[in-house]
Chains A and B, each alone.
Chain A
């Protein structure tokens, strides 16, 4: 053992891994919008409470604060879901899973299926309403769970079956 291995992959501009093949469901945009609206509703509730509790004669601060979060919130509710939809992608092969997610902070995750411990299918209230599901793939590393949000329910079921079959085929300690 000794010297540092020379990079046998040419480091050229653009020598990055291609994007995962599949987009998530188009309805995911709606799901993220609804989730954003829930946050906005909570902010509105806070604003109303403040309006009722405050005894000061001037209502100007209320209008200023309200306008600020309304503009920021509206921008968030409109831009975030579209941005997310453009970023979120996934791909699974019999041997590995590859995802891309986020919006301001983006990340790609890639994990071999031989190291998978559990595969979970989750459906929150909004996701149930829209016929969507999230699939979470957990590995032996606490830092490693891979989640794909906003999949069509049939696609999610198919993916879970494929992943479970692949994980059974691969044996080993998973650590």
Chain B
């Protein structure tokens, strides 16, 4: 690694190759449009080529002007030619570090390093790109310095860790414990999640948009569509299920291939995943505030679940770097959650149900919309003479709604253990959150007009981590204040 006298380091020079490529990919739709446009005109002036030296120059400029260094307990990032912009972050505020390597990064041995610090969504330092080894070394420097036990010095003013001491190997060091490794047979769960279906839909949308640019191929689509419409309806359904499952499996493989979760002796969690785009995330143990067990309906029926981490310093839903375990059998996920939060009552123990009022509210909320839709169907049949077979949907809808309401009530529950507050809710998207009691930094007790009438309230624990707030839904008012008093007795005593 090259450093100047003041310790400033540069990005890897190979980023000069990556930058034009990324620009090209960003403008790919515009370029395609240009090519199509060209095909129909006699203009031979390739004026878009003038952009190439500009793009290259811009990349060089970025390489020349971007520097970073670690000094005085801070990481500094300097950018810009005319407006020099310096971003600084204290090392003890570093929460998580992401290394992302897309295909072209990997070919060149590069990785993009993103450093999240405390204090919200905007505090991110992005280094695009470093060599993979330099990135890993930087990560080790940042995360290990946070812990005084390693440097033997107070965190904010510690001397730099000798860079060469940190091995730049790919496999985890021997003292890292491997918590979970992807078993290829888990791919069978891919079609059972909404995420899988959503990514399948995204792929279909993207592909059809891409194809529709080539007008001469539209006849292929027309032929295909008329072929499909001639098939029996159940063949169509099977076909659709097959295609969607395949796409969901594809998305699962792309995202989670080679998934591995390890923990080093400082407790830092490392995940690694991805088939084409390689992604490594390191999460400082001191920032972890709990875990979230997701059991969406599809996975639950198949006896599976997935695990996410509740931590500060991750962007919400930011590319899903909060995964601790992809969809996997419950027999794998629950013990894993127990290794991260060793509190059996919180992770898998029984929960306190919220009583009859909550149950009535779940049923009302499920049944009323179903009744509305059913009424609309009947009206449509009477007024506009819709097909009678649609009325078959009415009993199906109502039975489904009652089942959904009951299942949602079954999910509802909470528990307070010596270290954690546990809350669970949802049917299609059931989740159980195990939140550290000392990660809670405030409370809300919310009551709508209807909630006040039946004497229930929603207790909200606010936190700096994860979704920022976790709700215990529709519990009797007295119980809400009892939980509040039990978890934060000092706070309640202030206003006794």
Chain A interfacial positions (CB closer than 8 Å to B): 1-5, 7-9, 11-18, 20, 91, 93, 95-96, 98, 104-112, 115, 139-144, 146, 173-175
Contact = CB atoms under 8 A, between A and B. Distances in A.
B456 to A, nearest CB: 12
Contact of B469 (A2, A110, A140, A143): A143
Interface in B373-422: 415-419
A119 to B, nearest CB: 14
Given A1-B418, A13-B478, 16 more contacts: A1-B344, A1-B417, A7-B486, A9-B481, A12-B478, A15-B481, A16-B481, A17-B484, A105-B449, A106-B452, A107-B446, A112-B491, A115-B441, A141-B441, A141-B462, A141-B464
Contacts of A3: 345, 349, 417
Most A CB within 10 A of own CB, among B119, B345, B441, B452: B441
Nearest to B350: A4
A104 B478 contact: no
A107 B441 contact: no
A166 to B, nearest CB: 12
B93 to A, nearest CB: 9
A11 B478 contact: yes
Contacts of B118: 140, 173, 175
A52 B463 CA distance: 52
A172 to B, nearest CB: 10
A118 B454 CA distance: 37
A108 B457 CA distance: 11
A96 B342 contact: no
Main secondary structure of the interface of A (DSSP, over half): loop
10 contacts: A5-B418, A95-B490, A108-B444, A109-B443, A140-B118, A140-B441, A140-B464, A142-B468, A144-B441, A175-B118
Given A115-B441, A139-B462, A143-B468, A1 B478 contact: no
B13 interface: no
B322 to A, nearest CB: 16
A117 B494 CA distance: 20
Contacts of B449: 104-105
Nearest to A94: B494
Given A95-B490, A142-B120, A143-B469, A106 B447 contact: yes
Interface of B: 118-120, 287, 312, 342-345, 349-350, 352, 415-419, 441-449, 452, 460, 462-465, 467-469, 477-479, 481-482, 484-486, 488, 490-492, 494-496
A92 to B, nearest CB: 10
A143 B462 contact: yes
Nearest to B446: A107
A5 B416 contact: yes
B445 A175 contact: no
Given A12-B478, A17-B481, A143-B460, A98 B448 contact: no
Contact of A14 (B312, B448, B478): B478
Contacts of B441: 111-112, 115, 139-141, 144, 174-175
A4 B447 contact: no
A98 to B, nearest CB: 5
A111 B447 contact: no
A100 to B, nearest CB: 9
A13 B455 CA distance: 10
B484 A110 contact: yes
A157 B83 CA distance: 38
Contact of A16 (B417, B442, B478): B478
A3 B417 CA distance: 7
B349 A4 contact: yes
A139 B444 CA distance: 13
Contacts of B463: 141
Contacts of B343: 1-2
Contacts of B490: 95, 112
B478 A109 contact: no
B447 A107 contact: yes
Nearest to A115: B441
Nearest to A7: B482
B109 to A, nearest CB: 36
A110 B490 CA distance: 12
Contacts of A105: 446-449
Nearest to B445: A108
List the 10 closest A-B pairs by CB distance, nearest first.
A111-B442, A143-B469, A140-B464, A175-B464, A115-B441, A141-B462, A144-B462, A143-B468, A142-B468, A107-B446
Contacts of B419: 1
A98 B468 contact: no
Contacts of A14: 478
Given A109-B444, A112-B442, A95 B482 contact: no
